[in-house]
């Protein structure tokens, strides 16, 4: 109803993903799939994951990430 907002939905199963996106969610995630992908990335790219965790959860770090849209 409002295209200006972003809707992130949590699905119980992979079957629900398409239903939630069809219902208007911009992105739908399943916790088990998301967790599995995260664990795989920790094995494949541990330095990247460690850096991102430090950057996003670090309280005493003078680091900030931003997102810019270029048109």
The model's pLDDT over 9-65, given as tens digits with 9 standing for 90+, comes to 999 988 899 899 999 899 999 999 889 999 999 999 999 988 888 777 766 667 777
pLDDT, residue 59, reads 67
pLDDT, residue 45, reads 93
Domain range list for the chain: 8-57
63 in Cβ contact with 55 (< 8 Å): yes
Confirm whether pTM is higher than 0.75. no
Q: Is 39 helix (H, G, I), strand (E, B) or coil?
A: helix
pLDDT, residue 60, reads 67
């Amino acid at each position: 109803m409002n295209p200006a907002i972003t809707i992130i939905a949590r699905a119980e199963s992979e079957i629900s993903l398409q239903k939630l996106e069809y219902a208007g969610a911009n992105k739908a995630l399943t916790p088990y799939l998301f967790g599995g992908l995260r664990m795989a990335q920790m094995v494949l790219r541990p330095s990247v994951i460690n850096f991102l965790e430090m950057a996003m959860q670090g309280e005493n770090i003078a680091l900030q990430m931003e997102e810019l849209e270029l048109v």
